[in-house]
Structure 1
Amino acid sequence: MKLRSWHLTPLICLFFSCEDAKPKMTDEEYQQLTDEQKRSAEHAVDGIVVADDRLELTLFASEPMMSNPTNMDIDDRGRVWIAEAYNYRTALNPRNPTRGEGDRILIMEDTDGDGVADESKVFYQGNDINAALGIAVFGDKVYVSVSPYVYVFTDADGDDVPEKKEILFEGVGGVQHDHGMHSFTFGPDGKLYFNYGNEGKGIHYADGSPILDPLGRPVNSQTQPYREGMVFRMDPDGSDVEVLAWNFRNNFEVATDSYGRMWQSDNDDDGNRSTRINYVMDYGNYGFKDEMTGQDWRARRINMEDSVFKQHWHLNDPGVVPNLLQTYAGSPTGILIYEGKLLPEEYQNQMIHSDAGPNIVRSYPISPNGAGFDAKIINILDGNPRDNWFRPSDVTVAPDGSLFVSDWYDPGVGGHAMGDLDKGRIYRVAPKGVDYKVEKPDYSSIPSLIKLLQNPNRATHFKAFMALQEKGAEAKDALEKLFTEGESRMRARAFWVLTKLPNGNDYIKTASTDADENIRVAAVRAYRNNKMDETDFLLKMAGDESSAVRREVALAIRYKDNSEVWQKLAANYEPGDRWYLEALGIAAEGFWDEYLPVYLENAGSGWMESQAAKDIVWRSRAKNTSDLLGKIILTQPGRNNQAFYRALDFQNPAEKNGTLKALLANAPEEDQIIILRQINFDRNNPDTQVLSLAKKTANEITDDRDFLDIVSKYQLKEDKDRLEALVYQSENNQHSQMAANIYASLYGMNDIEKSFENPDQEKAIQSITKFGTIDNESMAKLLADIYTDESKSLEIRTAAAEAAKGYNSEPYLWQLAKSNEIPADVLPIAQKILLSSWNGNIRKEANEFFGDATKNEYDVAKMVAASGSVEKGKTIASTYCLACHKIGNEGIDFGPGLTEIGDKLSKEAMINAIINPSEGMGFGYETQLVKMKDGTEFTCIVNSKTENDLVVKLVGSGEQKVYKLVDVESVTQQDESLMPKFPLSQTEIVDLVSYLETLRK
C-alpha cells in the first residue's frame, strides 16, 4: 500500500541538502521547544547528539508510517524491514490498547531517491507475531522470532506476500518474552547464527523433539552444563543445529565477523551496572549463574569479587570465560560488525552496538590481547543529553555501507511496560553529503557476485555466498583471486566459499599456512565446520605462534580425546591469559583424568613452583584435583589461597570435603574460617571435629558477616553477647536484621520480650526497632501487645506500631484493624503500613476498608511539567525506596538497583513505574507465589532454582533464603508487582522523581 510521506519536505531541499536547510539546533534552542515539539518527528533528529562531526543523522521513516520497531533488517535492495510491537506484552499490561489484527512485519522503501521512505508494505500481520523480537531476511526466506516460536516465511515469487509460514523451532521460553528468542544473522561460513536469553529454557524442532548436543544431551536449562541464555548456529535449511555458548542473562543479538568469530552484548540483572560485551568463545560458560549449583550471583562464596560486575558474572570462578568490556548501566539491544568502507576508518571492522537504556549507539574498537581481546568505547549517537525517549532497538548496515538505527522511542525501556504506543523512528547515519543510493544487485555474473560477496549488508552477502556456492568450480578462479589479493576480511569471505567446493579441505590447509593469523583462525574454524579429522593438522596448528590460533585448536578438540594435541597446547600456556586457560578447560572437558596426569608428569616434580601449572590445576576437573589444590594451599597459606579454595567448589563434593578436613590440621586461623564456611556440614549428623572448631573460633572471627554465617550454619549458642551487639549496631542494617533473626532462632522470644519491657524507654524503643524487623506472627503479636496497650507511653507504642510491618506480620495487623482493635492514636501508622502492604490482597482489602485512601487522580502531564524538591525527594526515597532498592551503598538489594536510574528512565517512565508498578516488572523481579507442602505460602522473588534448592529473596530483605525443593509444592508467577502503590501525593511523587533523575553516572 502506498502511504503519504511522513513529513513535507521544504522546497529548499530540492536544491540543497536538508542538513544545510535545517541546521542542527543549539542546546538553548532545543530546550525552548515544548515537550510536544520535542517528541514530534519534525524534531527527532534535533534530539540526538551525533558525536562525530563528520557524520550526519537523517530520519528515514517515522510515525505514522510505522511504530514501536523491536528489530530491523535491510534487504539487498536497500529496503528496511521491521518487526513492530504495538501489542507488546498486552497480557501483562491490560491498560495498553491492542491492535486486533495483530502486529506487523513492514517493508519500507524510498522509491523517489530523496533518502526518506515513502512507501510501506505489510509483509505479514497477525496475532501470532505479536511483539516479535527478531526479523532476518535471507533470500526468499524471512525469519521471525517471537517466543515460543521461530517462524520462517517463504516468498518464492518475490511479490512481498509470503506463500508459506512454517515453524522452525518451538518451545523457546514464554509467550512474548523479552528474554526469549532473538534475531538470526548470517555468518561468513554459510551458517545462520542466533541466540536466546535466559527465559529461553530450551529449544525444540517443530515436531517438539529437543535439540541434542554431540553427546546426545537435550539442550535445555535442566541439562548441565547448559544454563540461562545460549548461542546457536545451524545450516540455512535448519539442520545441524549446534549450541555454541551459554550462561548469559539476556544476550539480545549475536554478531559474526568475516573470520567466523562471534560477539554479543549481555544485560545484567536490572540496575546493577554490569552490562557487558563478550567475545563469544565456542562452548564457553559465561557465568551468569553458578556453574555447579545454578545459584544467583549474589550468593556469598569464597573468593567473591569486590566489584559488582565481577560478582555478577562469576569472573573469579574457574570455568568462566572473561568479559571483553563492561558498559555498566544499560539495556543492550542490536549489535553488528561493521565491515563496510563508507563510515570513517575507526568504525571499520569494529562492533557497533545500540543500547536502549542509556539512549546510545556506540562502537567498540578491539585490539588483540593474548588469546583474547581488549576494547574501548567510541560514542556515535547519544540521546541522553536531549531526548531520553530515544531507545535504539537495533543497528543494521545497508548495501551502500550506511548505518541504520531503529528507535523504539518510549519514555521507558524493558520490563513489561511501554509509555508510547504510536511513535517509532528509523534513522540513517552516513558521512555528510552522502545520499542513500542502492544499485540493483546482479547475481548472474561471477564478477558481480565477487563484488556482492564483499558487501557489508548481510542479506546481500548471503545471496552472493549462496550463488557462488551454487556455481561451484565455475567461480573457483575468481574466488581464488580474491582470496589471494583482497583485503584480509574479504579474503576470509572468499575462503569460506572455497571451503564449500568439492576440494574445500585443500583450501583449509592452504589457509592454515597464511601469514595473516586471522586467516589461520578461520582455517581452524573451517576445519571444524567441514568435520575434518586429521590429528597431524591439529598438531601442526597447536604449535602456531599465535595464541589466537592455538585457542581455536583447543576448541576444535572439544568432545574428542586428543591428549597429544592438548599437551602441546597446554605447554604453550602463558600465565595470565585467561582466554587461553578457559580454551584449555573447554577442550579438556570429559578428559581431565587422562590429560592432567600427563601434563604434571611433563612439568616435573617441581610443578608447584610453576604458575602456569598451578593455573591449569585451578581450572581442572580431574578426580585428583581436590588433592592437588590442597597441596597448593599448604605451600602458600593465607588470603592468596582463596582462589584455590573456591576451585574446590567445582570438584566432587566428597573429595572436596576430604581435602578441606585434611587441611584443618595445618591451616592457620585465617584459613580455618574459610574452611568452616566452605565445608559441607550436616546438622543431623554433625562432624564433631568441625563443630568443635566452629565453637572454638566463632567469637574470634573479625568479619561480622563471616561470624553470622558461621553461627547460623553451625547453630552456635556460645556467642550470645556478640550476636546481640550486632543486632543493635547501626552501621549495617542487613547485618542487624540477620543477627536479629539468628538470635530469635537460637534463643527464642523470651529475652527479646524482656528487652521490650526495659524501664529505660530509650533502650526499649531501640530494642523494639531492631528486633521488630523479625517478620513472623510471633513478633507481630508481641508488638501488638505493646501498641494496643494504652497504658504505655505513646512513644513506645508508636515504635511498636511502626515495626509491625512485613509480609508475614501484616496479616495479624490487618486482623486487628478489621476488628477495630487498634487505638486511634496509632491507627494512622497501621493504615500507612496496610495501604502500602507488599501483600496485594491485604492492600486491596485495606483500600476498601479505609475508603480507598490511596486512590489519587494523578495528572501525569502536570507532574511531568512540574519541578520538585530534590532534597525532599531524597527523604521520600529514604522512607520508601531504600526498603527494597539499592541507591549507591545504601538500601536493600531486593528490587532492581536505582543507582543510575536517571540514565535509564525518563521522567514520564519513572512516574508511571511509581503509580503503576505492576506494568514494568523487570525480568527476574516478578512476584512469585511459593506454596509449601506443609500448607504455608509466601510471595518472593526467585533468584534461582538449583537441582535441590529454591533460592529466594523475601520481601523487605536483601538476604537470600534457601528452601529444599522436596518441600515445595508449587511456584507460580503473579501478575502484580511486589512493589506496592505507595500512598504518595502528586507533589511527593514529583519530589521523588526529581531526586531519582539526579541518579546518574
Structure 2
Amino acid sequence: MNRILPNIGLLCMIAGGHAHAAPPRNPDAYVAQQELPDLSDKAPKKVAVADFTFPDDLEVTVWATTPMFFNPTNMDTDAAGRIYVAEGVNYRHHENRRPGGDRIMVLEDTDGDGTADKSICFVQEPALVAPLGVSVFDNKIVVAQPPSIIVYTDVDRDLKFDPAIDTREEILTGANARNHDHSLHATTAGPDGKWYFNQGNCGALLSNRDGFTLRLGGSYYNSGAGNPQWFNDPTEYAGKPSDDGKIWLSGAVGRMNPDGSSIEIMAHGMRNSYEHCHSSFGDLFQNDNDDRVSCRNTWLMEGGFLGYFSKDGKRSWSSDKRPDQDIPTAHWRQEDPGTIPSGDVYGSGSPTGIAFYENGALPEKYAGSLFSCEARQRVIFSYQPTLGKGAAMDLGEHSELLSSKDNVLFRPSDVMVGADGAIYVSDWFDSGVGGHKDVDESMSGTIYRIAPRGFKPVIPELGDDPLENGAKMLTSPATHVRNTGFELLKAAGKDALPILEELLKNEDRWIRARAVWLLPLIGSEGTEICRGRLTHSDPEQRLLAFRALRNAGADVLEIARVLVTDPSPAVRREIAVSLRSFPAKSKQELVVKLFSQLDNADDRTYLEACGLAAEGMEPEVWKSLVQSAAQEPLEWSEEFARITWRLQPEAAVPALIDRVHSRKLSASARRLAFDTLAFIATKDAVMTIADFANGSNKSLAKQARWWLFNRGLDEWESYGIRQLLKQRGIYDPDKITLRGIVTPEQPKTSNLPPATEIAAMEGDPARGKIQSARCMMCHRFEGNGVPFGPDLTGWVKDQGAEEFINALVVPSQSIAHGYEATRLHLNNGLQIDGIVRSIGDPIMIESMSGLTQLVPKNRIKRTEKRIFKSLMLSAEQLGLTPQDIADLAAYLRTL
C-alpha cells in the first residue's frame, strides 16, 4: 500500500493550459496530489552536520528534511521567510515515478525556532517534470519548466494554486528540452527590476507574447538518458540571427521585462550555467559546467561570448583545440578573439546553485561574498569579488563556506540568502552526480541553515503602508524580497524620494546601491541626484550611476561623451558595452577613443568591451587607430597588436605578414601575428600560413598544419587549400589509409558481484596502481595517460567508489556529456567507433587510446550518431577480478 505523506495535509490541484492562455475550467483537467511509491523500506536519509567542515564563527543546522519535500532542485524565499522548493522526483529515468507530476512545496518555520515545521504543496501538475528553477516575486511563483517559463500568480495568497482563483501563464516558451539538466534554469530579478532567465546548451527557439523569436543555436544534444523531450532541433538554427539581428548561441543568460517582453541577451556561449546571480551594483555572476576539467565561476560582462561553441555554433571546443593548448584554455577559447576571460577555472565538477550575499546575519567579513555550489566536489565555494585595476570584476581566490569531502552523499543543488539573513543550502543527496541519473531511491533531501552560532531568526514585520514596506523589503538580505520592495517604491514615484534619500545615507554600501537604481525611475529630482553621482570619487559609484541612468532610458551617448575618458577602465568598459546597439556614425569617434586608452595588453575584458562596441565597423576603427598611432608594423605596441588581433581588419594583412616573418620580434609577437592572420583569413593571410606548414620554424609549422586541417577543408577551401595539401603531401584523401576500430560489445549481464559488495572489499592502493596501467590507454591521472576519456584524478574521491565500480562494470549505463559515441560505416565495410571532433570533410574522429583519424566524407556509407554505447571496455573485458577492481578504486581514491 502507498502511504500518505506526513506533514502534507492539503490536496494540490493542478492546471493544464498552454502558452499565453488561461487554464481550462473543466474539473476533469485537474487531479489530486499523487502519492509517492511505497517508501516504507526506504527511510529518509541526510548527511549528518558532524560530516561538514565550515568556518569557526558559523554553525550549520538542519532546517528541513524529507519527508517534508523530496529531491530538491532549486529554492527561493518570500518576505515571510517561507522557502519554496522545486522537486525533481520524476528526474530522468524516474520520469514516471510520480504520475501526477512534480511539485513546488512551501516550507515554513511557524514558531521561529530555526526548524521548518509546516509543509504545503503549492502546485503539482503533469507538466512539471524535474523543474530546475523556482523563483518568488511577491505572489508570483515563477517555475523554469521546459519548454516554458511558467508564472503562477497566487491571487488570494493562500499558498496553494487554485485554477478557479489563481492564474497560470507561460511568458516565454520554446526551450529544449524537458527533463534535461541543460535546459531552462531559475529566473532571477536584477537590481534594475528586470527578470533574468538562463538556458543551458540544449538550444532554444524562444518566443514571447510580442512574437519576438530568439534563436539560441549551437547544441549537438538531441537525446539523452531518461528520454528527455525535444521541441526543436538547435542545429537547424545554429548561426542564424534572432529577431534582434544578432547571432546568439546556447547556453545564454537573457533579460526581459517581468511580463516577458523586451528580451535581450546578456551573455552567451556557455556550456550549462546552472544558475546566475546579481550584486546590487548590477554585476552578474554565473557558474558553468564542463566537458573536461574546466568548470568555472565567472563574472559576466554584458554581451560577452563565453566560448564553448565556435561563433557559428557548429563546432565544439574540442574540434578547435590547437596544438599545445591546455584543456581549460581550449575549452573556453581563451586564445580566440571575441571571447571574454573564463574566470576561476577550478577543474572537474558539477556546479549548481549560486548566490551573492550582501547584508544579513553573517559577520561583516562575509559581506560581498559569492557562494557557488559544487555538487561533484561536495563543497560551497566562496569568493570576494572586487573591482580590480583593470576593467573586470576580480573574483580572487576561492575558499570554502561548507564542505563534506568524506561523505559522498552530499550533493548541494542550491544556495540562497534567506529573508532572515542566514544562508540556506539544499542537498539533493545521492551517491553520484552527472550522467543524468539518480541512485537514491528514498528521494531524500535536506535544507541546511548556515548562520552565526546561537542565531535566532528575525523576519521584519510588514504593515499596511506600501512605502514603509517597500523600504523594509529593499533592505532585505533576500534578493527577490528586495525586488518586491523595488516595485513598491517604483510605483510610488516621487513620493518615494524621501525614503531613497534616507537610504542613500545608510552605512551599508549595498543598501545605498539599491536606492541608486530607483532614483532615475521616480522622476526628475531623482534623476538629477543620480546624474550628480556620475562625478563621484569612487569609480564603482560612477559605474553604478551610469547603469541606473541607462536602465531608466537616459541619453547614453550624451553621458558617454562625458565618461569616455574616465580614469577607470571599468567605467569605460561599461560605456563600451552600452554602445553596442548604436549606429556606427553616432559612435565611431567614441569607440576609437575607448580603444586608444587600452593601457594593458593583458586586459582582455577592456579589449573585448571595445571590440563589442566596434562590431560592424572594425575596418574603419582600425584605420583611425593606425593613422593616429603612426607606427611602423615592426614597432607596434603590444596593445596595438592586440587591438589588431581583436578587430581582424583585412587592411592589416601586409603588416601582419611583415611581423610574422620578422626575426626582430619576439616569438610571442610573431605567434600573435600568425594567429591574427588565421582569424582574418584572406587569401594572402591563408597562403602565408600555408607557407609555414613545411617551414623550419617547428612551432609555427605545427600550428600552420593544424589551421590548414581545421579550416582549410571547409571555410578556406575556396583558396585551394585542399589541392595545396595534396600537392605538398600533407593530406591526400585518395591515399589515406583508415583503420576499422569497433569497441567490443559489452556483456549484457555481468558475472561480477554487485558494486556494493566490491566497494565493501578491502582494497590495496599499491596493487591498484599496478592495475591502473590498463586505464592509461584512455584516461589521464597523475599527469600520465591518454586524455580520451574523463580525467580520473579526483574522480573516485568526488563520486565515490561505488559509482566508479558501476561505471567500470557496466560502462554504458551512464555516459558523460561529450563522450557519446558515433559509429562510421565505411564504403569498404569497415566501421570506426569514436568521438567526432570535427564534422567537416574530412570528419575527424577519435577512438580508444586517442587514435585520431581523418575520414573523407566520400568514404562514409552511413553514420550512426550517439549509439549509446560506451567506448570503454568493461571490467570483465579488461580481465579484472573483483579484488583488482577494489584495489584500483583504492588507488584512485588517493588521487
Number of residue pairs matched by the alignment: 814
Aligned to 2:410: 390
Q: Secondary structure at the match of 1:369?
A: coil
Paired amino acid for 1:994: A
* Contact 1:201–1:220, Cα closer than 8 Å, also in 2: no
Matches within 5 A, 1:518-597: 518-560=540-582, 561=584, 562-575=587-600, 576-597=602-623
Of 48, 65, 70 in structure 1, the residue corresponding to residue 68 of structure 2 is: 65
Q: Structure 1 residue 185: deviation in Å? A: 1.1
Of 194, 199, 208 in structure 1, the residue corresponding to residue 197 of structure 2 is: 194
Of 234, 239, 256 in structure 2, the residue corresponding to residue 222 of structure 1 is: 239
CA distance in 2, matches of 1:73, 1:286: 27
* Contact 2:62–2:446, Cα closer than 8 Å, also in 1: yes
Q: Secondary structure at the match of 1:461?
A: helix
* Contact 1:102–1:130, Cα closer than 8 Å, also in 2: yes
- The reply on whether 1:435 has 2:456 as its aligned counterpart is yes
Paired amino acid for 1:573: L
CA distance in 2, matches of 1:866, 1:875: 18
Q: Structure 1 residue 664: deviation in Å? A: 9.5
Kindly provide the CA deviation profile for residues 163-189 of structure 1, in whole angstroms up to 9, marking residues without a partner as x: 333323333222211111111111000
Aligned to 1:703: none
CA distance in 1, matches of 2:803, 2:695: 58
Matches within 5 A, 1:99-118: 99-118=98-117
Aligned to 2:148: 149
Matches within 5 A, 1:407-806: 407-422=427-442, 423-442=444-463, 444-483=465-504, 487-503=508-524, 505-560=527-582, 561=584, 562-575=587-600, 576-606=602-632, 608-635=635-662, 636=664, 639-640=667-668, 641-660=670-689, 671=700, 674-679=703-708, 712-713=730-731, 775-776=739-740, 806=741
What's the Cα RMSD here? 3.5
Paired amino acid for 1:990: A
CA distance in 1, matches of 2:552, 2:861: 48
Distance 1:442 1:873, change over 3 A: farther
Paired amino acid for 2:493: G
Q: Secondary structure at the match of 1:358?
A: coil
Of 310, 322, 326 in structure 1, the residue corresponding to residue 341 of structure 2 is: 322
Matches within 5 A, 1:827-846: 837-839=743-745, 843=746
Aligned to 1:296: 316
CA distance in 1, matches of 2:702, 2:629: 33
* Contact 2:317–2:330, Cα closer than 8 Å, also in 1: yes
* Contact 2:239–2:313, Cα closer than 8 Å, also in 1: no
Aligned to 1:121: 120
- The reply on whether 1:855 has 2:783 as its aligned counterpart is no
CA distance in 2, matches of 1:323, 1:923: 20
Distance 1:99 1:601, change over 3 A: same
* Contact 2:309–2:316, Cα closer than 8 Å, also in 1: yes
Q: Secondary structure at the match of 2:266?
A: strand
- The reply on whether 1:345 has 2:241 as its aligned counterpart is no
Q: Structure 1 residue 965: deviation in Å? A: 11
CA distance in 2, matches of 1:365, 1:244: 22
Q: Secondary structure at the match of 2:142?
A: strand
Aligned to 2:890: 994
* Contact 1:488–1:519, Cα closer than 8 Å, also in 2: no
CA distance in 1, matches of 2:694, 2:885: 60
Of 50, 53, 68 in structure 2, the residue corresponding to residue 49 of structure 1 is: 53
CA distance in 1, matches of 2:839, 2:450: 44
Of 781, 792, 803 in structure 2, the residue corresponding to residue 887 of structure 1 is: 781
Q: Secondary structure at the match of 1:361?
A: strand
Paired amino acid for 1:953: E
Q: Secondary structure at the match of 2:73?
A: strand
CA distance in 2, matches of 1:337, 1:195: 17
* Contact 1:72–1:396, Cα closer than 8 Å, also in 2: yes
Q: Structure 1 residue 345: deviation in Å? A: 2.5
CA distance in 2, matches of 1:933, 1:148: 40
Distance 1:2 1:468, change over 3 A: farther
Aligned to 2:283: 261
Single out whichever of 660-669 and 619-628 deviates more from structure 2: 660-669
CA distance in 1, matches of 2:78, 2:236: 32
Aligned to 2:809: 915
CA distance in 2, matches of 1:2, 1:689: 71
CA distance in 2, matches of 1:972, 1:301: 22
Aligned to 1:719: none
Distance 1:658 1:61, change over 3 A: same
Q: Structure 1 residue 684: deviation in Å? A: 11
Identity %: 31
Higher helix residue share: 1
Q: Secondary structure at the match of 2:504?
A: helix
CA distance in 2, matches of 1:192, 1:933: 53
Paired amino acid for 2:611: G
Unmatched 5+ stretches in structure 1: 6-38, 696-710, 716-744, 749-773, 777-805, 808-836, 848-853
CA distance in 2, matches of 1:378, 1:688: 51
CA distance in 1, matches of 2:693, 2:99: 68
Kindly provide the CA deviation profile for residues 347-385 of structure 1, in whole angstroms up to 9, marking residues without a partner as x: 21121111111100121112313111331112111100x
Single out whichever of 642-651 and 569-578 deviates more from structure 2: 642-651
Q: Structure 1 residue 899: deviation in Å? A: 1.9
- Largest Rg, 1 or 2: 1
Q: Structure 1 residue 458: deviation in Å? A: 1.6
Aligned to 2:92: 89
Q: Structure 1 residue 518: deviation in Å? A: 1.6
Paired amino acid for 1:343: L
* Contact 1:366–1:376, Cα closer than 8 Å, also in 2: no
Of 377, 380, 383 in structure 2, the residue corresponding to residue 361 of structure 1 is: 380
Q: Secondary structure at the match of 1:509?
A: helix
Single out whichever of 425-434 and 284-293 deviates more from structure 2: 284-293
Distance 1:442 1:2, change over 3 A: farther
Q: Secondary structure at the match of 1:211?
A: strand
TM-score of the superposed pair, with normalisation by structure 2: 0.83
Paired amino acid for 2:624: V
Paired amino acid for 1:515: S
* Contact 1:2–1:121, Cα closer than 8 Å, also in 2: no
Kindly provide the CA deviation profile for residues 470-518 of structure 1, in whole angstroms up to 9, marking residues without a partner as x: 1111112211332355533222211111222243654542232222322
Unmatched 5+ stretches in structure 2: 9-42, 217-233, 242-246
Kindly provide the CA deviation profile for residues 580-631 of structure 1, in whole angstroms up to 9, marking residues without a partner as x: 1111111111110221101111112347332221121111132324334223
Q: Structure 1 residue 59: deviation in Å? A: 0.3
* Contact 1:638–1:668, Cα closer than 8 Å, also in 2: no
Kindly provide the CA deviation profile for residues 909-945 of structure 1, in whole angstroms up to 9, marking residues without a partner as x: 2233233433432222234456789998755434465
Aligned to 2:13: none
* Contact 1:927–1:941, Cα closer than 8 Å, also in 2: yes
* Contact 2:467–2:488, Cα closer than 8 Å, also in 1: no
Q: Structure 1 residue 341: deviation in Å? A: 3.5
Kindly provide the CA deviation profile for residues 364-423 of structure 1, in whole angstroms up to 9, marking residues without a partner as x: 112313111331112111100x31211111101011110000001111112122121321
CA distance in 1, matches of 2:813, 2:723: 53
